[in-house]
Amino acid sequence: MKTIVLLIVASLTATSVVAQTIKPMPGTATKAAKTGNGSGIVKALDPKTAKVTIQHGPIAALAWPGMTMAFVANPPTLLRSVKVGQRIDFTVQVTAAGPTITAIKQR
């Protein structure tokens, strides 16, 4: 009788473990990158760090209000086509690493 009870308990335990949803380990899950388009004015350029500071309007796709912030440009050569004070259109991609400008053009 003990053997039968132990077998039933063991099989129920194994079934519940197998039926559990497998979740990724903390820190290993990757979120999909979000992308948005914006317009603004170049406030500063730092080619050494590939950063551009932009005063931009709201970016609806990212639920961002208008603000002034620095972005990394990838590739850094994107910064060759713009100057401080220029009006621009740009594409920004937001990942766990932060926001990155992936396209930029003069208006």
Predicted TM-score (pTM) above 0.75: no
Share of the chain above pLDDT 90, in %: 67
pLDDT at 7: 54
pLDDT at 90: 98
Where the chain has pLDDT below 50, the residues are 16-19, 28
The ranges assigned to domains in the chain are 34-106
User: Nearest CA to 41 among 79, 73, 88, 5?
Assistant: 88
* 8 Å CB contact between 88 and 74: no
What is 34-106's CATH number? 2.40.50.320
Share of the chain above pLDDT 70, in %: 71
From CA 101, how far away is CA 53, in angstroms rounded?
A: 11
